[in-house]
């Protein structure tokens, strides 16, 4: 897959088969759309092209809206799309100026002149252009003028796509990991820099890595204890993660702390990726360190059980 960070890097194709969207999380609903795209490209002897936008449009249109949490960063999205073996990925920078582009200019300047679109895979309710004025009906009405063949994504597929994104976010914020994993088609993950904290875990026999997620828009699941896979130094380890404010030791602020099983190296300053396999229990306050240690021991046993399945 070739990746282009703006349209200037892209040379128009003779036979581009195109679809577009935000593709947050690249979940199973997106997989279905990409499958339609690839099948259409193969049938027409063309090349598959995915257009996505970055930053997410809502981050530009409503910059003060702190409610939006995304399932994937741009790098994660690119990596996930690459696994689906499309030919070209164009990341269009979404700016205020871009949001003012008319539907006519979007089709003429980007789809036709910029990409060489001959076939467009598009949902019946997909909107584009200033004030979302363009859509499937607009393209169909002007099909002869634009000379673009349209493949409509059925309403059922669109409904599934919309529901999936909403359900995944809701499931993760409620600790319903199995639902999120089923809709994503893979465990939800995030990565971050390992920063030095108060190192209290080390004093009770359970050293933890404090994972700092720099992207504020990246969705972090609900507070609680989780069984996780840890990706570090090109290896995969079993682990237990606590998300929360560590009430027993009077923690300040929400943190993501991971205890890697059977591992005790110094990894401060390194980057670690966590894949969430299952929810173990809610975070709670214990009467003292002894009770906390006893519970962590049980958490580790439960994690090993869950991760061995």
Pair 229, 237: CB distance under 8 Å: yes
Per the residue annotation, which of 79, 257, 287, 305 is the catalytic one? 257
In the chain, alpha helices (H): 28-43, 57-61, 74-82, 96-99, 103-105, 136-141, 143-146, 155-173, 177-184, 200-203, 289-307
As given in the structure block, the two tokens for residue 73 are 């960063």
* Cα 15 from Cα 46, distance rounded (Å): 5
As given in the structure block, the two tokens for residue 88 are 């070209």
Indicate the pairing of strand 2-4 with strand 88-93: parallel
Distance of CA 291 to the CA centre of its chain: 37
**Residue 277 half-sphere exposure, CB side, CA atoms within 13 Å?**
19
- Whether 257 is catalytic is yes
Pair 103, 138: CB distance under 8 Å: yes
CA-closest candidate to residue 258, choices 286, 230, 235, 281: 230
Q: Is 244 left (phi over 0), alpha (psi -120 to 50) or beta?
A: left
Distance of CA 100 to the CA centre of its chain: 26
What is residue 28's DSSP assignment?
H
Residue 63's CB is within 10 A of a number of other CB atoms, namely: 10
Main-chain dihedrals φ then ψ at residue 101, nearest 5 degrees: -65, 130
Residues forming a β-bridge with 260: 239
Q: Which residues are catalytic?
A: 257
């Amino acid at each position: 897959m070739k990746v282009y960070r703006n349209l200037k890097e892209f040379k128009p194709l003779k036979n581009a088969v195109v679809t577009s969207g935000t593709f947050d999380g690249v979940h199973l609903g997106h997989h279905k759309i990409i499958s339609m795209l690839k099948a259409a490209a193969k049938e027409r002897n063309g090349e598959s092209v995915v257009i996505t936008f970055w930053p997410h449009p809502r981050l530009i249109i409503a910059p003060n809206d702190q409610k939006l949490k995304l399932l994937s960063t741009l790098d994660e999205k690119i990596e996930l799309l690459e696994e689906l073996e499309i030919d070209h990925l164009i990341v269009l920078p979404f700016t205020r100026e871009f949001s003012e582009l008319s539907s006519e200019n979007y089709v003429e300047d980007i789809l036709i002149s910029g990409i060489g679109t001959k076939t467009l895979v598009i949902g019946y309710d997909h909107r584009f252009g200033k004030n979302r004025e363009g859509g499937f009906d607009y393209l169909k009405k002007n099909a002869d003028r634009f000379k673009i063949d349209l493949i409509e994504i059925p309403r059922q597929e669109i409904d599934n796509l919309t529901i999936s994104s909403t359900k995944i976010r809701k499931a993760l914020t409620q600790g319903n990991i199995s639902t999120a994993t089923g809709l994503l088609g893979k465990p939800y993950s995030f990565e971050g820099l390992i920063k030095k904290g108060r190192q209290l875990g080390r004093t009770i026999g359970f050293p933890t890595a404090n994972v700092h997620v720099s992207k504020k828009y990246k969705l972090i699941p609900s507070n609680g204890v989780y069984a996780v896979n840890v990706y570090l130094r090109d290896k995969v380890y079993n682990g237990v993660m606590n998300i929360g404010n560590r009430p027993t030791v009077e923690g300040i602020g929400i943190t993501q702390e991971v205890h890697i099983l059977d591992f005790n190296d110094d990894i401060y300053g390194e980057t670690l990726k966590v894949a969430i396999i299952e929810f173990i229990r809610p975070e709670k306050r214990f009467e003292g360190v002894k009770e906390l240690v006893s519970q962590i021991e049980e958490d580790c046993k439960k994690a090993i059980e869950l991760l061995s399945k």
